[in-house]
Structure 1
Amino acid sequence: MQRIVHLFFEALMLKRLPRSGYHFLGSGSESVAEHSFMISLIAYVMGQMTPEADKGKLMAMCLLHDLPEARMGDLNYVQKNYVRADEKKAVKDLVRGLPFGEEMEELLEEFAKGESLEARLARDADQLAFLVDLKALADTGRRGPAKWMGVVEKRIFTDTGISLAKSLMDTDWDAWWLEKYVEPSDASE
Structure 2
Amino acid sequence: MNADVERLRRSLEFLREAERLKDVLRSGVTSQGRRESTAEHTWRLCLMVMVFSDLVPEVDHLKLLKMCLIHDLGEAYAGDVPATEQSPGSDRRDIEYRDVQKLGDIHGGEVGQEIVALWLEYDAGETNEARLAKGFDKLETILQHTQGDNASDFDYAFNLTYGVERTGGHDLLKAIRAIIDTETQERSEGRAAWRDA
- The TM-score normalised by the length of structure 1 is 0.78
CA displacement at 1:79 relative to structure 2: 4.4
Residue aligning to 1:93: 102
Q: 26, 37, 48: which is aligned to 1:31? A: 37
Q: Structure 1: 5+ residue runs without aligned partners?
A: 179-186
> Following the alignment from structure 1 to structure 2, what is the Cα–Cα distance between the partners of residues 159 and 124?
11
Give deviations 1:118-177, integer Å, cap 9, x for gaps.
111100110011111111138x8844142222122524122111111112344589xxxx
CA displacement at 1:29 relative to structure 2: 2.1
CA displacement at 1:52 relative to structure 2: 0.6
Q: 83, 98, 105: which is aligned to 1:77? A: 83
> Following the alignment from structure 1 to structure 2, what is the Cα–Cα distance between the partners of residues 92 and 141?
36
> Following the alignment from structure 2 to structure 1, what is the Cα–Cα distance between the partners of residues 99 and 148?
32
Look up the equivalent residue of 1:50 and give its one-letter code: V
Give deviations 1:11-70, integer Å, cap 9, x for gaps.
211111101x449xxx76211011101111112233221101110000000011111110
The correspondence of residues 37-116 of structure 1 with structure 2, limited to 5 A, is 37-81=43-87, 84-85=91-92, 86-96=95-105, 97-99=107-109, 100-116=111-127
> Following the alignment from structure 2 to structure 1, what is the Cα–Cα distance between the partners of residues 163 and 70?
23
Look up the equivalent residue of 2:179 and give its one-letter code: S
Percent of aligned positions that are identical: 27
Q: Structure 2: 5+ residue runs without aligned partners?
A: 1-7, 188-193
Moved more, 123-132 or 69-78: 69-78
Higher-strand-fraction structure: 2
> Following the alignment from structure 1 to structure 2, what is the Cα–Cα distance between the partners of residues 170 and 59?
27
Residue aligning to 1:13: 20
How many residue pairs end up in the alignment?
A: 170
> Following the alignment from structure 2 to structure 1, what is the Cα–Cα distance between the partners of residues 90 and 141?
22
Change (3 A) 1:136 1:142: farther
Q: Secondary structure at the match of 1:144?
A: coil
Contact 1:42 1:128 in 2 (8 A): no
Q: Secondary structure at the match of 1:165?
A: helix
> Following the alignment from structure 1 to structure 2, what is the Cα–Cα distance between the partners of residues 7 and 150?
37
- The TM-score normalised by the length of structure 2 is 0.75
